[in-house]
Amino acid sequence: MRIDVFSAKPHDLEFLRAAATDKALELQFHEARLNADTSRLAEGAEVVCAFVNDDLARETIAKLQEFGVTLIALRSAGFNHVDLRAAHAAGIAVARVPAYSPYAVAEHTLALILALNRKTHRAFNRVREGNFALDGLMGFDMHGKVAGIVGTGLIGTVLARILCGLGCEVLASDPYPSVECKALGVRYVEMEQLLGRADIITLQCPLTPETHHLIDDAAIARMKPGVMLVNTSRGAVVDTKAVIRGLKSGQIGALGLDVYEEEGDLFFEDLSNSYIPDDVFARLLTFPNVLITGHQGFFTREALRAIAETTIANITQFQRTGAPMHPVKLPE
């Protein structure tokens, strides 16, 4: 069975090759991102294996159907970049990796929160230049602060446990409250109340039509002045231009991002010898109280091993039974 892996980086080769012990699985790696134009590389493949910034819109899916692809195996939990209706109509199954390491993303979220709070990103540069002045580096005790988690699924629950451990009062908003969070003492409140009370707001919900630009001008206006906002879920949960307005007015005191709504043209590529073509993103980089990482929340050894193993398990089960282990179903 031929499997074409798109957006393949050296770590994908390493971990997928290690997981694909069955000689019947023939892996072909493409550095290219999958879209309608590059889909022709998959001619003759039964499976395409895609990542978060591959474009699986209707046009790409029509091409994949033409080339005989029967399974899209995502190496991600999120599936907002796939036109599920088009895939269903084309008879192409879609599989994902629902859980690999919630610790990886929750711990990265904590890294952003603590770095922004104690200004570690600024201190690093200062000390290297022999500047040991402390002006502008003052932080706050995490203990006793109110943290608001939007979305307490796998990642949000691990983060709740960590923040409770730091002595934060944790509020949460989720249509499906977690039993474990409740047992930890997390209090579920309406979004309005979470926005108004939290000193730190973190977004751990999926990108859906309901959560698209969940954080907009109106939501920012309801937040506590000087709030810290962190997004490690999906970029478009936040309206970036509204957030820039919030940073300029001081309503947002610190911003941590691991994801960005237009990240497809930037992230995972080395643009250091070129320039940043996105002016909104470039504006974000001018704020001293903004810390951005390039979608690396998932990037731990344990997570990559689990992603590769589940991806191969999805494919082998599909080969055996016609259905992957973790199918993405059409929303009702």
Q: What residue is closest to ligand NAI based on CB? A: 153
Q: Which of residues 63-102 bind ligand NAI (CB under 6 A)?
A: 77-78, 102
Q: Starting from the edge strand earliest in sequence, which strands make up the sheet with 146-150, in order?
A: 187-188, 169-173, 146-150, 200-203, 227-231, 252-257, 290-292
Task: Pull the structure tokens for residue 81.
Answer: 């970049």
Q: Which stretch binds ligand NAI (CB under 6 A): 123-131, 169-177, 261-269, 311-319?
A: 169-177
DSSP state, 180?
A: H
For residue 59, indicate whether it is catalytic.
no
Nearer to ligand NAI, 63 or 295 (CB): 295
Give the 3-state secondary structure of 33-73.
Answer: CCCCCHHHHHCCCCEEEECCCCCECHHHHHHHHHCCCCEEE
Residue 154 in contact with ligand NAI, rule: CB under 6 A: yes
Q: What is the nearest approach in angstroms of ligand NAI to the Cβ of residue 18?
A: 21
Cα-based distances in Å from 174 to 224, 240, 281: 20, 22, 29
Q: State whether residue 74 is helix, strand or coil.
A: strand
Residue 196 in contact with ligand NAI, rule: CB under 6 A: no
139, 119 Cβ separation under 8 angstroms: yes
* Residue of the chain from 258, 261, 304, 312 that contacts ligand NAI (CB under 6 A): 258
Residue 295 in contact with ligand NAI, rule: CB under 6 A: yes
300, 101 Cβ separation under 8 angstroms: yes
For residue 213, indicate whether it is catalytic.
no
Which of 46, 234, 261, 326 is flagged as catalytic? 234
For residue 295, indicate whether it is catalytic.
yes
Judged by the rule CB under 6 A, the positions of this chain that interact with ligand NAI are: 77-78, 102, 105, 150-156, 173-176, 204-207, 210-211, 232-234, 258-259, 295, 297-298
Q: Looking at the annotation, which residues are catalytic?
A: 234, 263, 295
